[in-house]
């Protein structure tokens, strides 16, 4: 069933950890800026918060409602604090990756139902972890990306930006370098899937 151990353990880890981590980052950044102002220094350094959610936070998973709900909460929390901090040097982004090829996913495969595994297989190949880190680095380095942006990472489209209601900014264009990276990634994943299918 959908109610079990995850209803007890997931909320503190999946949401409270994000909230507390974001608060610690903002508090630390604010304290540093106050020290710099006290020393007469003009520090225009940005603080960038990158919270990791999931595509499950954008597309509901009927067989994992608690997990999906928590990831949706991470998306909305990140967008809300981005709006709250809009007049500061704090930028906030959310990354929503598809299933990522990690040891944790290996454990998921061991304990989840056949229905869950089939959904993963249907959605495309598992993403290599470095793709998610590439999206995070892009968010940190590219100051032209508006705070509050939700960045999707999928095997079908690579790295792109989610269109969500209530965004205070126009839909940003994916940078050419990132678009080229995504095209190479998608082609590589398709080639890998074809090789795997040929062996079956």
Report pLDDT digits (tens) over 167-190: 877 788 899 989 999 999 888 888
Q: Give the other-Cβ count within 10 Å of 156's Cβ.
A: 14
Give the model confidence (pLDDT) of 35-75 as tens digits: 776 666 656 678 999 999 999 999 998 878 888 999 999 99
| CA of residue 162 relative to chain centroid, distance | 11
pLDDT at 1 over 50: no
Q: Give the other-Cβ count within 10 Å of 82's Cβ.
A: 23
Spatial distance between the Cα atoms of 111 and 105, rounded to a whole number of angstroms:
10
Average pLDDT over residues 117-122: 60
Question: What are the Cα distances from residue 62, in Å, to 107, 119, 154?
Answer: 20, 11, 19
- How many helices (DSSP H) and strands (DSSP E) are in the chain? 7, 4
Query: What is the span of the domain harbouring residue 90?
Result: 5-199
Total of domains in the chain: 1
Helix (H) or strand (E) holding 161, with range, is strand 158-161
Q: What is the CATH number of the domain that holds 16?
A: 3.40.50.720
Across-strand partners of 158? 154
């Amino acid at each position: 069933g959908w109610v079990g151990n995850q209803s007890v353990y997931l909320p503190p880890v999946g949401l409270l950890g994000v909230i507390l981590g974001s608060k610690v980052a903002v508090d630390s950044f604010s304290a540093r800026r106050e020290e710099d102002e006290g020393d007469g220094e003009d520090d225009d350094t940005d603080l960038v918060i990158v919270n990791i959610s999931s595509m499950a936070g954008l597309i509901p998973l009927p067989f994992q409602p608690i997990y999906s709900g928590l990831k949706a909460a991470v998306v909305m929390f990140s967008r809300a604090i981005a709006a709250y901090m809009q007049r500061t040097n704090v930028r906030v982004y959310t990354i929503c990756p598809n299933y990522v090829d990690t040891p944790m996913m290996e454990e998921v495969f061991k304990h989840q139902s056949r229905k869950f595994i089939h959904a993963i297989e249907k959605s495309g190949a598992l993403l290599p972890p470095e793709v998610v880190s590439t999206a995070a680095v892009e968010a940190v380095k590219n100051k032209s990306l508006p705070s509050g942006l939700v960045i999707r990472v999928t095997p079908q489209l690579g790295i792109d930006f989610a269109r969500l209601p209530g965004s205070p900014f126009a839909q940003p264009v994916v940078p050419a370098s990132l678009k080229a990276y995504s095209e190479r990634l998608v082609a590589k994943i398709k080639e890998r899937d074809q090789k795997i299918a040929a062996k079956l």
